[in-house]
Amino acid sequence: MSDPVATSERERRQSHALEIADVSKRFRVAGRQVQALSHVHLAVGEGEFVSIVGSSGCGKSTLLRLVLGLDTDYDGEIRVDGQRVERPGLDRSIVFQEHRLLPWLNVEANVAAALRQSGLAAAERGQLVRDHLHLVGLEQFAKAYPAQLSGGMAQRVAIARALVTKPRFLLLDEPFGALDALTRLRLQDELQ
């Protein structure tokens, strides 16, 4: 018979796809210690949509960078399905406040860049890129370069790039913050 304590621990972990357990993060800035995160706990279940709200500098972007696996120098633990996050992976995507598209690549190549590590065949990758440009309404702009897009269009490319790997976790770091109010409302609806 299985150990009831171990079983309930397993169930608890399964119900929380993402766990942020007692995470603290310090930076050294100009010889001074900055406490960016202090004992953060957060558990996110499958299919949940969680918003992190707080004043400028309170550590929101820092926390997302840790979840993405870009920085592993912190105290505490971040787990996906009970496994410690050690590095970025195809299961986690992020959209930043600025689109961060590569200016020398056209729209379809920017989206395709996310699939480089996917191991998929070229034809499959091409289809996924087309599907996701269609999803964000930019199939007509596949050959355009980032400098030829509006701010909202560029953010939609960034969303397509984040979704094309079909990640389990989509991290959004104020992705519509730089857009005008009407475009922001429309993209919030589209994204949902």
Ligand X SMILES: Nc1ncnc2c1ncn2[C@@H]1O[C@H](COP(=O)(O)OP(=O)(O)OP(=O)(O)O)[C@@H](O)[C@H]1O
Q: State the nearest-atom distance from the C-beta of 129 to ligand X, in Å.
A: 30
Q: 21 Cβ partners below 8 Å, 6+ apart? A: 41, 76, 77, 78, 79
The counts of H helices and E strands in the chain are 6, 6
Measured torsion, CA atoms of residues 47, 53, 87, 167, in degrees rounded to the nearest 10: 30
Q: State the nearest-atom distance from the C-beta of 102 to Mg ion, in Å.
A: 22
Among residues 56 and 192, whose Cβ is nearest to ligand X? 56
Site string for ligand X, 54-93 (x = CB under 6 A): x-xxxxxxx-------------------------------
Choices 50-58, 88-96, 103-111, 152-160; region in contact with ligand X by CB under 6 A: 50-58
Q: DSSP characters for 51-65?
A: -----TTSSHHHHHH
Q: State the nearest-atom distance from the C-beta of 23 to ligand X, in Å.
A: 12
Chain residues that interact with ligand X, rule: CB under 6 A = 27, 29, 34, 36, 54, 56-62
